[in-house]
Amino acid sequence: MPLDLGAKGSCQIGGNVSTNAGGLRLLRYGSLHGSVLGLEVVLPDGTILDQLSTLRKDNTGYDLKQLFIGAEGTLGIVTGVSILTAPAPQSASNVILALPKFENVLPLFVQAKRQLSEILSAFEFFDREVYDLAIKHGQGRALSEEDVEGAECFVLMETSGGKREHDEEKLNQLLETLFESDKPLINTGVLSQSPAQFASMWAIREGLTEAVSKEGKAYKYDISVPLAKFKEVVDTTREHLGSKGLLRDDAVKHVVGYGHVGDGNLHLNVVAAAYTPEIEAALEPFVYELVASYKGSVSAEHGIGVMKTHALHYSKSNVSIEWMKRIKQLFDPKGIMNPGKVLP
């Protein structure tokens, strides 16, 4: 299945398609816009739109199925999916790397893509502050205290391929290159040596959300911005809250960032002691305006839903929103499909 996400134990494929779920391995397998071959959809008037094709190539007019991928159920109900599945990997490894500064993330990503090419399946970033929260709240420990000393951020890198010896050789060559460089991009790293250690490393990354929730009340922003601006977004948000006098134990306790480097998706989390109108007013529309200044997206992978409809214009032009409304009116003139979702 070319999709892996934290909710995999409870979510359903129709919902995944309707939200164009991204997940942890989009870097390797792409988005559902590319891997969904066909759909069966029940339209608001009861018509069954049967586009349940298994063809890889079909250039006969409009590709109607794309309208329903990511439409969040506002145009119809997905009742059948034809999806391109990939061969199951025969080997998988991962490594957590400690980096002295955020500026090293992008060159590290470029070097990893160049040397690992087709076996690179995930490249996840998390800053030091959210890593410390994960350790504090028992989400696991991949590195010793000595290893994390001087680290500003971390990268979890995964490889998966068809032959363990070949994959391990490429990964080891990359690590040797990184450690032997005149100006090393990394301080240190830990390579998984067993399935249990492989799982424990992913547990840290997947446990970041839980750690944030245990620490306090989180304002969560799922945004897309250029990779080089990840840290700038986090730092700018922190400075803005500080200028409002909100960086204190009884207000905003942490401003952290983590996310998917391969697709430019940053999860900006502001951890507060409690949800308050004052903090919300300081964050919105500030965060959305900040994202717009980078020509980014206010919703990278979690959709617009009902809570971000007011922010849609930060990422979509008036012309785009008008045509979205026309498409909605065409398919659902009575407004019975997920009313209030996506469109303001």
pLDDT in tens, 89-135: 999 999 999 999 999 999 999 999 999 999 999 999 999 999 999 99
Domain of residue 43, CATH code:
3.30.465.10
**Quick one: pLDDT at residue 188?**
94
- Boundaries of domain holding 143: 91-208
- Residue 309 resides in a domain: no
Q: Does one domain contain both 222 and 268?
A: yes
286 is a domain residue: yes
Are the beta carbons of 265 and 224 closer than 8 angstroms?
Answer: yes
CA–CA gap between residue 335 and residue 323 (Å, rounded): 16
Note whether residue 61 is domain-resident. yes
342 lies in some domain: yes
Task: Give the CA angle between residues 121, 220, 128 to the nearest 5°.
Answer: 60
Among 179, 160, 180, residue whose Cα is nearest residue 170: 160
CATH of the domain at 132: 3.30.70.2190
Structure tokens at 126: 């998390």
Q: What is the pLDDT of residue 182?
A: 85
Same domain, yes or no: 113 and 72: no
Query: What span, in angstroms and rounded, lies between the C-alpha atoms of 148 and 187?
Result: 8
Residue 5's pLDDT is: 81
Q: Tell me how many domains the chain contains.
A: 3
Q: What is the pLDDT of residue 54?
A: 93
Q: For residue 150, is it within any domain? A: yes
Q: How far apart are CA 162 and CA 87, in angstroms?
A: 9
Predicted local confidence at residue 258, as pLDDT: 96
The percentage of residues in the chain with a pLDDT greater than 70, rounded to a whole number, is: 100
In a domain? residue 311: no
The predicted model scores a pTM of 0.92
Among 16-25, 97-106, 247-256, 284-293, the least confident range:
16-25
**Which of 101, 110, 111 is CA-nearest to residue 231?**
101
Strand partners, 223: 266
Residue 263 pLDDT level (bands cut at 50, 70, 90): confident
pLDDT, tens digit, 9 for 90 and up, residues 130-189 = 999 999 998 877 788 888 999 999 999 999 998 989 999 999 999 999 988 888 999 999
Q: Could you please report the per-residue DSSP string of 46-93?
A: S-EEEE----S---SS--THHHHTTSTTSS-EEEEEEE-PPPPPSEEE
Q: Are residues 255 and 156 in the same domain?
A: no
310 in a structural domain: no
Residues 296 and 321 in one domain: no
Domain CATH code at residue 286: 3.30.70.2740
Q: How many CA atoms lie within 13 A of 129 on its CB side?
A: 17
* Residues 196 and 250 reside in one and the same domain: no
Could you tell me if 136 and 203 lie in one domain? yes
- Select from 154, 183, 208 the last residue of a domain: 208
Q: Do residues 269 and 257 touch, judged by C-beta distance below 8 A?
A: yes
